[in-house]
């Protein structure tokens, strides 16, 4: 099935993608149109995640897509990027589900786990037979995860966890949580299975953003996890930050999907909407807004494509990813705000996707490091002087 939706191809961006990347993009695009688009309005209104889609994510190879082995697809990093873009053209909450599962749950097990942990969890997570979440943020430690107060203590046969995590995507619906806690002052990662005594979750309600996504708190009260559930190779803050770098790369691509969808909607609307006897698209002020969208989306596409090619060669560093995440979230949010404005009153109702994308992008601009935090990362990279404190 082909769709009416086309992503921006102003500078012939598509010519820079391989046949395989284009094919993956079209497959995910059709899946979003066929299966995701029809349920978004209801999911958004009722603040519920469309759980019936989860097995399809597994079948489509959308979870842990770049991991090689363990029943994962092992696709390239640019192919993964276009996949993320298409999912977020649907909704940032859908892309977040797949990002968290792949980059924040499967990646840490793959990168820092024992062989036994990889064999036990990765195939099930890839097929969506298991859902996972990533517990780093706490009520008093968001931008500064090193300030976490969740503690792990060595006890007979395992580790005892005490503390609370907040803003955790998929927390309440997860079978397994990757939890970061301080053991003797060092940040370590633990795999906590659902049902472990002392581990409970609660749902965070009332969000105006990312409503098609489950957001939760995780509570640990004398929760003892077995010794073999500690990630052996995750030692120090760089371990969770390594996972975030993976996820942020996907976000930098993903937000272009939301931006593209807003641009596409605004362009079509402006051509049809007659105001003072001529189409809105015929006014200079409207064209200036559309031209800005084309300009920024096109630059964003080229930025993440270069990041993807660097990642494929092992050259992409966290500070490069910060630039991509910071820039693309910002331009996507600005595009969504301008598109919303161009739709007038229709810009605030959910018959059009724009207000939903705009509200979602407020979260995406904040989570996984706020815009300002990434600005500080880039600032440190070019000056050599950290300015976080």
Ligand X SMILES: Cc1cc2nc3c(=O)[nH]c(=O)nc-3n(C[C@H](O)[C@H](O)[C@H](O)COP(=O)(O)OP(=O)(O)OC[C@H]3O[C@@H](n4cnc5c(N)ncnc54)[C@H](O)[C@@H]3O)c2cc1C
Question: What are the structure tokens assigned to 121, written together?
Answer: 């969890």
In sequence order, which residues have a C-beta less than 8 Å from that of residue 9 and are 6 or more positions away?
none
CB of 299 to ligand X, least distance (A): 23
CB closer to ligand X, 80 vs 97: 97
3-state helix, strand, coil in the chain (%, to 5): 55, 20, 25
Q: Which position among 8, 32, 87, 100 is part of the footprint of ligand X (CB under 6 A)?
A: 100
What b-and-e string marks burial along 233-260, b requiring 16 or more CB atoms within 10 Å of the CB? ebeeeebbbebbbbbbbbbbbbbbbbbb
Question: What are the structure tokens assigned to 9, written together?
Answer: 């191809």
- The total of other beta-carbon atoms located within 10 Å of residue 311's CB is 23
**Unique residue bearing structure tokens 């996949």:** 83
CB of 162 to ligand X, least distance (A): 17
Question: What are the structure tokens assigned to 113, written together?
Answer: 């786990």
CB closer to ligand X, 29 vs 44: 44
CB closer to ligand X, 285 vs 387: 387
Q: Known catalytic residue: 368?
A: yes
Q: Which position among 6, 228, 350, 372 is part of the footprint of ligand X (CB under 6 A)?
A: 372
Which segments within 119-214 are labelled E, that is strand?
132-135, 151-155, 158-169, 176-183, 186-193, 199-203
* Site pattern 135..174 for ligand X (x: CB under 6 A): xxx----xx-----------------------xxx-----
CB closer to ligand X, 57 vs 167: 167
Q: Which position among 192, 305, 368, 377 is part of the footprint of ligand X (CB under 6 A)?
A: 368
Question: What are the structure tokens assigned to 184, written together?
Answer: 């003797």
Neighbouring-strand partners of residue 178: 134, 191
CB closer to ligand X, 92 vs 260: 92
Is there binding between residue 366 and ligand X (CB under 6 A)? yes
Task: Give the pairing type, strands 132-135 and 215-226.
Answer: unpaired
Is there binding between residue 282 and ligand X (CB under 6 A)? no
**Exactly one of 56, 115, 368, 380 is catalytic; which is it?**
368
Q: Which position among 215, 229, 301, 322 is part of the footprint of ligand X (CB under 6 A)?
A: 215
Q: Which position among 71, 370, 378, 381 is part of the footprint of ligand X (CB under 6 A)?
A: 370
Q: Which position among 373, 379, 380, 381 is part of the footprint of ligand X (CB under 6 A)?
A: 373
Angle 186-385-308 from CA coordinates, rounded to 5°: 75
CA separation for the pair 353, 40 (Å, rounded): 9
CB closer to ligand X, 40 vs 343: 40
Residues between 344 and 363 with contacts to ligand X, criterion CB under 6 A: 363
Contact between 58 and 124 under an 8 Å Cβ cutoff? The reply is: no
CB of 372 to ligand X, least distance (A): 3
Q: Which position among 210, 234, 297, 307 is part of the footprint of ligand X (CB under 6 A)?
A: 210
Dihedral-angle region of residue 236 (phi above 0 means left; psi in -120 to 50 means alpha; beta otherwise): left
CB of 165 to ligand X, least distance (A): 6
Binding site for ligand X (CB under 6 A): 100, 133-137, 142-143, 167-169, 210, 215, 363, 366-370, 372-373, 388
Active site residues: 368
């Amino acid at each position: 099935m082909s769709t009416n939706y086309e992503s921006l191809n102003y500078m012939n961006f598509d010519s820079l993608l391989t046949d395989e990347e284009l094919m993956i993009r079209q497959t995910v695009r059709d899946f979003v149109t066929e299966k995701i688009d029809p349920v978004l309005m209801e999911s958004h209104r009722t603040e519920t995640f469309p759980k019936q889609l989860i097995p399809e994510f597994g079948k489509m190879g959308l979870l842990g897509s770049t991991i090689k082995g363990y029943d994962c697809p092992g696709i390239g990093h640019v192919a993964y990027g276009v996949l993320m873009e298409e999912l977020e053209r649907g909704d940032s909450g859908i892309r977040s589900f797949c990002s968290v599962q792949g980059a924040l749950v499967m990646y840490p097990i793959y990168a820092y786990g024992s062989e036994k942990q990889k064999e036990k969890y990765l195939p099930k997570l890839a097929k969506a037979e298991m859902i996972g979440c990533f517990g780093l943020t706490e009520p008093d430690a968001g931008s500064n995860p090193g300030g976490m107060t969740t503690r792990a203590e060595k006890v007979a046969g395992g580790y005892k966890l005490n503390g609370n995590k907040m803003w955790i995507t998929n927390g309440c619906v997860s079978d397994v949580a990757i939890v970061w806690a301080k053991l003797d002052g060092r940040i370590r990662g633990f795999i906590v299975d659902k049902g472990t005594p002392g581990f409970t979750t609660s749902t965070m309600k009332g969000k105006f953003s990312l409503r098609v996504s489950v957001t939760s708190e995780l509570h640990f009260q004398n929760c003892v996890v077995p010794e073999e559930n500690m990630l052996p190779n995750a030692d120090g803050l760089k371990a969770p930050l390594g996972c975030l770098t993976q996820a942020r790369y996907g976000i930098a691509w993903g937000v272009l999907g939301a931006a593209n969808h807003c641009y596409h909607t605004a362009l079509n609307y402006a051509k049809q909407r007659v105001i003072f006897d001529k189409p809105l698209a015929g006014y200079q002020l409207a064209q200036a807004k559309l031209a800005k969208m084309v300009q920024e989306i096109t630059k964003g596409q080229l930025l993440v494509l270069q990041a993807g090619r660097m990642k494929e060669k092992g050259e992409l560093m966290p500070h490069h990813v910060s630039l991509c995440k910071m820039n693309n979230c910002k331009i996507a949010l600005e595009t969504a705000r301008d598109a919303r404005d161009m739709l007038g009153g229709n810009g605030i109702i959910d018959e059009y996707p724009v207000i939903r994308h705009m509200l979602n992008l407020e979260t995406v601009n904040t989570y996984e490091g706020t815009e300002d935090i990434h600005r500080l990362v880039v600032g440190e990279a070019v000056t050599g002087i950290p300015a976080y404190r």
